[in-house]
Amino acid sequence: MTDQELDWRGLNRSHWDERVPIHLSGEFYDVAGFVRHPDVLRAFEVTEVGDVSGKRLVHLQCHIGLDSLSWAARGASVVGLDFSVPAVEAAQAIAAEVKAGARFVAADVYEAVEALGGETFNVVYTGLGALCWLPDLTRWARVVERLLAPGGFLYLVEFHPFAHTLDDATGRTVAFDYFDEGPHVWTDPGSYADPAAATRKNTTVQYEHRLGSVISAVAGAGLRIDFLHEHDMTLFRQFASLVRGSDGFRLREGLPRVPLMYSLRAAKPCQ
């Protein structure tokens, strides 16, 4: 089935709209804890992005805004953008509670340039679990390029596509086709934040973008790749064989390591 035959945007938006209250009330996001200490960024992200004090940062596909507000707490002037109106309303409410200087806009990521009135930014940030919802990375990268001010950069952190080829039980055997980018239609109740939650909007359309597709899209938009870092840890127990450490989940010591996340930074030339 092709993208044209699927209402990928409508199905995915309904799915995310329904899960906002689940995410606001559950332990996974721990919104009450965030209000007390508004910082959920990973240490490597802070190091790789660098000092954001006084910089303009836009967070694409920001969901309920916790990453966005974490950058605001570090001194950035932040705009968060998401296609889910309930998520944007939740982000606005949390921003008011933590007294953060951030604003949130409801818009599809492909329409971000128009929705933000042509405003440009020093940093375009895209966090974990965002790209799988987008059918066209070339179009996405062109949006990123237009959002960047000269000399600004994209910072992307994502789950590694190779990890998605491994079997769920052990994370040791290739069970899925790395080159099949989709679309994949899934019907799964609940949420990653609460698998037991009662939900009705359970069908989603997702895409598995391999690493070469991401890099080619970013470079094709005219951005210069500064680095691509692969990480042997992730933020949740993707496989039963993963064990929790101080900074996330890894395969237990002694097993051959596999990439579980990656981070990429790419700059827009000054001229």
What the block records as the tokens of 158 is 């994502």
Question: Domains of the chain by range and CATH?
Answer: 3-267 (3.40.50.150)
CA proximity to 22, closest of 204, 196, 237, 185: 196
Half-sphere exposure of 138 (CA within 13 A, CB side): 1
All residue ranges of the chain with pLDDT < 50 are 1
Instruction: Report pLDDT for 1.
Output: 46
pLDDT at 268: 97
